[in-house]
Amino acid sequence: MLAAAGVADLAAVGPREVAAHLATLRAGDDEHPPLSAASAARAASAVRGLHRFAVREGLTEHDPAREVKPPTLPRRLPKALDVDQVERLLAAVGADDPLAVRDRALLEFLYATGARISEAVGCDVDDLDLGEGTVLLHGKGGKQRLVPVGGYARQALDAFLVRARPGLLAAGRGSSAVFVNARGGRLSRQSAWAILRRAAGAAGLPVDGAHGVSPHTLRHSYATHLLDGGADIRVVQELLGHASVTTTQVYTLVTVERLREVYATAHPRARA
């Protein structure tokens, strides 16, 4: 592209050339299809890195890419299950053996607390206080937060801790983890995700593609259902462990979309 524009020296590149290059990536040409905003943003990052390197090494005096804004990525609304789907997911896990009891407790825990999958598998028995109905979660950056645990989750956890966990621990050397595997060690993130996928498949929910149930799905559902139920966004922020309320505000967009869907379906004059 630079050669076509008559630019043969990196030092001669200006903001106009950088902006034109990014615009071409987005629009495409006869030889290349248009790039998505995400792909164009990655290309813009590479261009900025090149020019920063050139300035740092003394190859050029100015960084033309600094003045060019990268493409704005579309805000993706988090996927959330509705309440009926959550209940189907939870009901899809049986209670026939210790591992099934553990799986039900894990899924109930994720939905009841909004915990990240890493926070759930990192939870120790001493972090739980089922009498008070709380759990101490260890989040990103070493930050801790105390989160309520609902009645259904407390029952599932109590059943697991009393009936199933001791037998699983006997197969290993002992572990402080709440959720343990068949060998008595701490359950891994990958295994927790596999549990969720199996339950989703059994419940008839999607497990692949853009709308597939993922480790974050129950966290998204937790936040969305709290806001749907009238919870204050600042409270939800604290429960999720978000450093900024801006991160939590994306869930308000989900609830607005849901309100629109209900309105369009239920109101007799919603559509012209």
Q: Is 52 a catalytic residue?
A: no
Catalytic residue among 219, 220, 222, 225: 219
| Active-site option among 26, 62, 197, 216 | 216
Active site residue 116: yes
Catalytic residue among 111, 138, 186, 251: 251
Of 241, 214, 237, nearest in space to 138 by CA: 241
21 catalytic residue (yes or no): no
Burial class of residue 161 in the structure, from the number of CB atoms within 10 Å of its CB (0-12 exposed, 13-18 middle, 19+ buried): middle
Catalytic option among 21, 102, 186, 242: 242
Name the catalytic one among 21, 116, 186, 225.
116
Q: Smallest Cα–Cα separation from 147: which of 243, 238, 246?
A: 238
Question: How deeply is 28 buried, as exposed, middle or buried, from its count of CB atoms within 10 A (0-12, 13-18, 19+)?
Answer: exposed
The active-site residue out of 32, 52, 66, 140 is: 140
267 in catalytic set? no
- Catalogue the active-site residues: 116, 140, 216, 219, 242, 251
